[in-house]
Amino acid sequence: MTTTLFTTQVNLGGLMEVLSKNLYSTPTVAIRELVQNAHDSCMRRRLESQAPFEPSVHVITNQAKNTLTIEDNGAGLTRDEIVDYLATVGSGYTRFLRDQQAEEIMIGYFGLGFLSAYVVSDRLEVWTTSYQEPEKGWHFVSKGAERYSINEAPPIPIGMRVVLHLSKPFQELAEAFLVEKLLQRYCGLLPVPIYLNNNREVPVNDEPPPWRLDQSAISPIQLKKRRLEFAQRFENYFKPLCTIPVHPTEESEAKGLLWVQDTSTYGTSDNRNITVFVRNMFISSDVRELLPIWAGFVGGVIESDELTPTASREEVQKDDIYEKIQRQINEALIDGLAKIASEEINTWRSILKRHNEALLGAALCDNRLFKMVADDLKVPTSEGDLTVPAIKGRSQNKIYVSIGEEGDYEEVIFRALMTPVVSGIRYAALPFSQRYTELFGGLVVKLGTKSGNAVVFKREKISSEEQEKLQSLLAQPGQQVIPSRFQPSHLPMVLIPDRDYQLKKRIESEELDHRISTGVLSLARIYTKKIQGETAAYFYINLDSPLIQRLLVTEGEAQQQIANLLRSFTLMMGRHHDEELGTDLSEALATFSEAVLQLI
């Protein structure tokens, strides 16, 4: 059987439409691509030509004519090279040079960059003279990328002049101010000087990145200033507070600069931003995954010739090199923060003040970072934000944590003792406290749990008659009286919800069927089936309290009045209205008032 081979057909118009209009996420990339082509042309001339020259690129904006011009004094093109490389999609002489050279001085590779010019222009003109034929000039014209013409023209100085006749939606690219900002961002690391309009003296990329400076020739104060100024160029939304250099390691040759943002963050804030340069050219300003997930308050710029850009050169491939640089940045950030903590005390205090909550979560991701910040970070408590050492110092080496709503019943006893209670429902407060005690000793007591209540309340046995009397006088259905002893002795009793019972009620609520996925809800209900009993809350009765002692020896109507007074007082101290617990704050106030009136 004979197999017939066919040639794949290409719809040139459709292909050019897709490539030119969908390859890049933003049309301003055209400036980056064309300046990069000009840079590579200069590098080619340096490699191939024996004649000395000073490479340069000149960008000219003309709002009156709505044109953008990029000139270079690079190698230029012959007529055949125009056809083979400029007018052929996916073919580039730069790829050949890069494959032949060990030194990474060329940027382009895919031969697609020139397509970006068609995205922003109605018509494209190129004048060029090759160093190989300095006596000849060529004029290339294309409209719409599908057809072009090449005509002989008077020679220009060796190099190339590309003129974009901007289409209406992109005529802002003829504005000098915008183009200058784009050049500084896209081309700020290029070694070839880039001049804009009539300024032939100072290139827009005359400020090298801090890691290229000769640090022996600059004072530490000036270096710090230069780093902050560089960081501000790339930090879009916040002022940099301080900077951390990234140095090459044995694993990665990447280098760059990180900075801590001068803004207040929360635990869930994620303001990470990393700008990546590959072979001196801007690739992307949103490679945030290079930073650790916990560093939501950090920005940076990284330069690496080892990273591999995608075809559009707006992202990098997430390969082994990418992961090595991730580790390198993580190490640099930890080491840099440690250095700031030890050498720049005022700056370190500012970091802690602005990013305290974010650092609580960050510390849980890295033990070195945790040990660095453990004694300085503050957790939210009933007495305000406090460091863990301060909390332990006021609580006999314990950390009491409320896992209910702020101001819940169990906090009453600690307000009376002026003992801080950590708000366990706030971001990272509970796991941070637990990790602290694991590393440095102490005990976390979770209030409202059986184990936590056992630490706070020392249970006591009383006669069955006294137990029944207290139960009938103080408790309502779903509540249980537990005789105990605790401090302060002048606090007669405390109402503590059963957290497991509350969880069971919430999980069994039909309302959750609409808010939680079926799988998660099923797993939760398997757990709550194990929870036995119908006790919603416990009244811990303080047998050391003179009021409780008086209650037990009083009889008749006076006993009930004292009980009503104590119960109402306890509910008001809890400040809650909760039908599940049988607590009604309004009713408690009324009962309290009535009991006082009867006593007086």
Q: Beginning with the edge strand found earlier in the chain, give each strand of the sheet holding 298-303 in spatial order.
A: 240-246, 255-261, 298-303, 273-278, 281-284
Identify whether residues 218 and 167 lie together within a single domain: no
Percent of the chain whose predicted confidence (pLDDT) is above 90: 50
- Mean pLDDT check: name the lowest of 16-25, 435-444, 527-536: 16-25
**Domain CATH code at residue 271:** 3.30.230.80
Structure tokens, 148:
């072009």
- Segment holding 413, helix H or strand E: helix 411-417
Identify whether residues 422 and 564 lie together within a single domain: no
Domain boundary among 435, 455, 475: 455
| Average pLDDT score over residue span 65-85 | 92
pLDDT of residue 212: 93
Confidence of residue 566 (pLDDT cuts 50, 70, 90): confident
Alpha-carbon distance of 486 to 381, in angstroms, equals 21
| Average pLDDT score over residue span 90-109 | 50
Tell me how many domains the chain contains. Answer: 4
| Average pLDDT score over residue span 430-456 | 91
pLDDT of residue 109: 39
Indicate if the pLDDT at residue 202 is higher than 80.
Answer: yes
Residue 106 located in a structural domain: yes
At residue 232, φ and ψ (nearest 5 deg) are: -65, -30
| Residue 223, number of CB atoms within 10 A of its CB | 15
Chain centroid, CA 563 distance in Å: 55
Q: Which of 195, 392, 399, 366 is nearest to 295 (CA)?
A: 366
- Count how many Cα atoms sit within 13 Å of the Cα of residue 370 in the half-sphere of its side chain: 18
pLDDT of residue 598: 66
pLDDT of residue 108: 42
- Structure-model confidence comparison of residues 475 and 9, the more confident one: 475
pLDDT of residue 215: 87
Indicate if the pLDDT at residue 502 is higher than 70.
Answer: no
Domain boundary among 455, 487, 522: 455
Confidence of residue 570 (pLDDT cuts 50, 70, 90): confident
Indicate if the pLDDT at residue 508 is higher than 50.
Answer: yes
Name the H helices within 49-160.
79-81, 93-100, 115-120
Residue 361 located in a structural domain: no
| Average pLDDT score over residue span 11-37 | 67
Identify whether residues 191 and 59 lie together within a single domain: yes
| Average pLDDT score over residue span 259-272 | 92
pLDDT of residue 521: 46
Identify whether residues 40 and 125 lie together within a single domain: yes
Reported in sequence order, the residue ranges of 238-289 that DSSP labels E, i.e. its strands, are 240-246, 255-261, 273-278, 281-284
Tens digits of per-residue pLDDT, 325-378?
999 999 999 999 999 999 999 999 999 999 999 999 999 999 999 999 999 999
Residue 514 located in a structural domain: no
- Structure-model confidence comparison of residues 524 and 398, the more confident one: 398
Residue 27 located in a structural domain: yes
Residue 521 located in a structural domain: no
Q: Which of 166, 176, 201, 159 is nearest to 59 (CA)?
A: 176
Identify whether residues 45 and 147 lie together within a single domain: yes
Tens digits of per-residue pLDDT, 130-160?
999 999 999 999 987 678 899 999 999 999 9
pLDDT of residue 8: 53
Domain boundary among 349, 384, 418: 349
Identify whether residues 121 and 248 lie together within a single domain: no
Q: Compute the C-alpha angle 334/398/462, nearest 5°.
A: 155
Residue 236 located in a structural domain: yes
Residue 365 located in a structural domain: no
Give one word for 231, left, alpha or beta, with left for phi > 0 and alpha for psi -120 to 50: alpha
| Residue 597, number of CB atoms within 10 A of its CB | 9
| Average pLDDT score over residue span 447-452 | 81
Alpha-carbon distance of 156 to 73, in angstroms, equals 10
Indicate the Cα dihedral angle 90, 93, 94, 97, nearest 10°. 130
pLDDT of residue 586: 61
Structure tokens, 391:
């909390």
pLDDT of residue 102: 47
| Average pLDDT score over residue span 76-89 | 85
Indicate if the pLDDT at residue 220 is higher than 80.
Answer: yes
Alpha-carbon distance of 351 to 476, in angstroms, equals 51
pLDDT of residue 149: 92
- Mean pLDDT check: name the lowest of 111-125, 328-342, 492-506: 492-506
Question: Do residues 248 and 160 touch, judged by C-beta distance below 8 A?
Answer: no
What type of residue is 239? K
Identify whether residues 22 and 153 lie together within a single domain: yes
Identify whether residues 178 and 159 lie together within a single domain: yes
| Average pLDDT score over residue span 163-168 | 94
Tens digits of per-residue pLDDT, 382-394?
899 999 999 999 9
Percent of the chain whose predicted confidence (pLDDT) is above 70: 79
Indicate if the pLDDT at residue 489 is higher than 80.
Answer: yes
At residue 445, φ and ψ (nearest 5 deg) are: -115, 110
Query: What does pLDDT average to over the chain?
Result: 84
Identify whether residues 243 and 325 lie together within a single domain: yes
- Mean pLDDT check: name the lowest of 12-16, 148-152, 227-231, 296-300: 12-16
- Structure-model confidence comparison of residues 413 and 248, the more confident one: 248
- Mean pLDDT check: name the lowest of 12-16, 560-564, 585-589: 12-16
| Average pLDDT score over residue span 233-245 | 94
Select the highest-mean-pLDDT range: 233-237, 297-301, 579-583.
297-301
Indicate if the pLDDT at residue 584 is higher than 80.
Answer: no
Question: Do residues 474 and 428 touch, judged by C-beta distance below 8 A?
Answer: no
Identify whether residues 178 and 67 lie together within a single domain: yes
Alpha-carbon distance of 453 to 533, in angstroms, equals 17
Residue 548 located in a structural domain: yes
Question: Do residues 439 and 374 touch, judged by C-beta distance below 8 A?
Answer: yes
DSSP 7: P
Name the H helices within 259-366.
320-343, 345-363
pLDDT of residue 524: 46
Q: Which domain holds residue 590?
A: 457-498+535-599
pLDDT of residue 229: 94
Tens digits of per-residue pLDDT, 31-45?
888 998 899 899 889
Identify whether residues 162 and 41 lie together within a single domain: yes
Q: Residue length, the chain?
A: 600
Indicate if the pLDDT at residue 15 is higher than 60.
Answer: no
| Average pLDDT score over residue span 507-511 | 56
Q: Could you tell me the sign of the dihedral formed by the alpha carbons of 100, 103, 106, 107, in that order?
A: positive
pTM summary value: 0.78
Question: Do residues 142 and 83 touch, judged by C-beta distance below 8 A?
Answer: no
| Residue 377, number of CB atoms within 10 A of its CB | 22
- Mean pLDDT check: name the lowest of 361-375, 411-425, 578-592: 578-592
**Domain CATH code at residue 167:** 3.30.565.10
Identify whether residues 245 and 389 lie together within a single domain: no
pLDDT of residue 501: 66
